Structure 1
Amino acid sequence: MSSALANGLAGAGGGIIAQIITYPLQTVNTRQQTERVSREGRDSRGSALFQILQVVRSEGLPGLYSGLKPSLLGTAVSQGVYYYFYQVFKNRAEAIAAANKKRGRGDGSVGMLSWLVVAALAGSVNVLLTNPIWVLVTRMQTHTQAERKIVEAKRETLLKEASQSVLTASSLEVQLAELDSLKPHPYGTLQAAREVYNESGVTGFWKGVIPALIMVSNPSIQFMIIESLSKQLRAKRAAKNKDQQNITALEVFIIGAFAKLGATVCTYPLLVVKSRLQAKQEISGNVSLRYSGTVDAIIKMIHHEGFRCFYQGMRTKIVQSVFAASVLFMVKEELVKVYAVLANKSKVNVYN
């Protein structure tokens, strides 16, 4: 097994574990990002824990795990693809650096700019291949929220018609009772896929791909920080003890958390735009808040909600993404070490 494939499988395994642990926070965060709130109507919506309890109260525990199956598939594929191509491009960058050293250029190490390019290339391949999965996950996470908004819009219409004497009091009472009795319908992966296709055709599965491609800078920044800090830590450790250069699982956890924090703060507005584009557009009864594309979404968000909307739910996202990234990197590194041990044992057995 090649090092690239081993890193890909380890990344997929780490990603699945991190996703399962932090998924409720991800569900709440996606709903926070896609919630339309006018400048005048903006208020305090409570902590992530409070909102988790609200979801459990209204939808039960399954509500926190809406879209988990495609999300796990997406995580496994996404992390596998990313780490595989990251290792491929990393190996190539290291080979180029070594070749340059032989020619008398550089010290043989990969520079920070090269790490950014490596991470950006791997991230771009990942986004193009896995975007359809994340469109479905976003739809499933916000389905209940979208149906609730539709019901609220119908209620407002009925009350308006009643105030204009279009509806009788008895008719209004009956129709309001019908709305109150409505419950969110089960919403599976195939139903979400049909909905996306019926709305926008095949291209609908790549909604939000432009901000997602721009967001490649997130893992680029993240991996630049990780590689730089890991290199410095190994160098310091090697200076003290030449036989001990490996970094521990706890150190990987801390480095991963620090790197993800910096990357998330820098790119969060793009994540909000991507979620808005991928969510069901009927999540708002106001046609002016439906988006035809990335630029249209940004303009309307600024006009109707102000710049603060680009940071809705950022605290929840920081907690979720930093913890998930830390778990992912820690698990991935341990799996890679296990692979290395097994590979060495197999070599010993072959020679014996």
Structure 2
Amino acid sequence: MSSAIANGLAGAGGGLIAQIITYPLQMVNTRQQTERAVKKGIDDQCGPLPPSYHPSGGTLVQVLQVIRSEGLGGLYSGLKPSLFGTVASQGVYYYFYQVFKNKAESIAAARKDRGHGDGNVGMVSWLVVAAIAGSLNVLLTNPIWVLVTRMQTHTQAEKKIMEGKREALLKQASENGLVGSSELQDKLAELDSLKSNPYGTPHAAREVYNEAGILGFWKGIIPTLVMVCNPSIQFMIYETSLKSLKEKRAANKQGLKNVTALEVFILGALAKLGATVATYPLLVVKSRLQAKQDIGGNVALRYSGTLDAIIKMIRYEGLLGFYKGMGTKIVQSVLAASVLFMVKEELVKAFISLAGKSQKLRLNVFK
């Protein structure tokens, strides 16, 4: 088994386990990112947003709200396509990462043979390797994550639509002097009796296609491609730290020679923390673009593209809007990355060990 395939399979396995463990936090974080809230006192020419569009508490409060209104299953909305997306993304990313990493290392070794450099891959090369692998991953798997975002935020969007319809009825009744009338009560009761249709992956796919055609599956691709710098930063920190630790271990003959799973866990956590803080605003813009747009009559709720989203978020929500739910994301991302790195390294060792045993077995058979 080649190192690229071993790393691809290990990355997929590690990503799958990390995703299952941290998914409820990811789901709540996506809803936090897509929750619109205008700045206090802003003079919106299209009219102020309803009070219901303002933040609804911290992470724990929102988790409890989801459980109360949607049950425990609500914390796992969109889990199936998310697991498929995680396996696909991690497998694609780690496969191409290892392919280009091997290439970079061979180039560095060749340069050393020619008397240039020390044979080590520099930080810039690590960034390039991670960026190329990340770009290929984004282009191939973005449609999956558009569907996941839709499924994670569907209940939230439906709630906003229903609130908008209720407020429109109340406003119309007030203008016509029908407040408190039986006609208004009947309409409100009819509205309250409406139940959301089942919403699965096929429904999300049809909704995206009906809204924007085939290109709708690549919504948010620009900020997502720019966010390739997130794993680039992450892997630069991780690879550099891991290399430094291994060199210190090699120099210390009396200490441990191998890096432990706990140390990989800690290095992965620190690497992901730095990358997440640096790129979080792009993640919020991406989630806003991929979520359902037509959730109210106010133009502040709809974005036609990346630049439009950035301009409207600055205008209506201020710079703090780009950091909504960041605390939740840091906890989720650091935990997921730590688990991923730890599991991946152990799986790589297991795959290589199994491949070695299999090769020895074949040699013994043919002796």
Q: Is TM > 0.5 for Structure 1 vs Structure 2? A: yes
- Residues of 2 paired with 1:303 and 1:320: CA distance? 29
**Contact 1:135–1:278 (CA under 8 A) maintained in structure 2:** yes
**Residue aligning to 2:300:** 288
1:57 equivalenced with 2:68 (yes/no): yes
Mapping for residues 205-224 of structure 1, pairs under 5 Å: 205-224=217-236
Moved more, 45-54 or 250-259: 45-54
Mapping for residues 181-196 of structure 1, pairs under 5 Å: 181-196=193-208
Query: Unpaired segments of 5 or more residues in structure 2?
Result: 41-50
1:19-57 CA distances to partner (integer Å, 9 max, x unpaired)? 111111011000000000011268663331221111010
How far did residue 341 of structure 1 move?
1.3
- Residues of 1 paired with 2:295 and 2:280: CA distance? 21
1:103-136 CA distances to partner (integer Å, 9 max, x unpaired)? 1111100000000000000000000000000000
Paired residues in the alignment total: 352
How far did residue 174 of structure 1 move?
1.1
1:16 equivalenced with 2:20 (yes/no): no
- Secondary structure of the residue that 2:249 maps to in structure 1? helix
Letter matched to residue 206 of structure 1? W
How far did residue 178 of structure 1 move?
1.9
1:159 equivalenced with 2:180 (yes/no): no
**Contact 2:15–2:90 (CA under 8 A) maintained in structure 1:** yes
**Residue aligning to 1:262:** 274
- Residues of 2 paired with 1:312 and 1:244: CA distance? 42
1:224-266 CA distances to partner (integer Å, 9 max, x unpaired)? 0000000000000000129954211101100000000000000
- Secondary structure of the residue that 1:283 maps to in structure 2? coil
How far did residue 282 of structure 1 move?
1.9
- Secondary structure of the residue that 1:186 maps to in structure 2? coil
The one of 93, 107, 111 aligned to 2:118: 107
**Residue aligning to 1:37:** 37
**Residue aligning to 2:48:** none
- Secondary structure of the residue that 2:294 maps to in structure 1? helix
Letter matched to residue 213 of structure 2? G
**Residue aligning to 2:91:** 80
Letter matched to residue 135 of structure 2? S
TM-score by length of 1: 0.97
RMSD between superposed Cα atoms in Å: 1.5
- Residues of 2 paired with 1:53 and 1:61: CA distance? 9
- Residues of 2 paired with 1:304 and 1:7: CA distance? 44
Letter matched to residue 349 of structure 2? K
- Residues of 2 paired with 1:285 and 1:19: CA distance? 35
Letter matched to residue 175 of structure 2? Q
1:5 equivalenced with 2:5 (yes/no): yes
**Residue aligning to 1:240:** 252
The one of 260, 264, 289 aligned to 1:277: 289
**Residue aligning to 1:98:** 109
- Residues of 2 paired with 1:27 and 1:113: CA distance? 34
**Residue aligning to 1:124:** 135
How far did residue 61 of structure 1 move?
1.1
**Contact 1:101–1:108 (CA under 8 A) maintained in structure 2:** yes
1:271-327 CA distances to partner (integer Å, 9 max, x unpaired)? 000000000002343123210000000000110111101000000000111100100
How far did residue 176 of structure 1 move?
1.3
TM-score by length of 2: 0.93
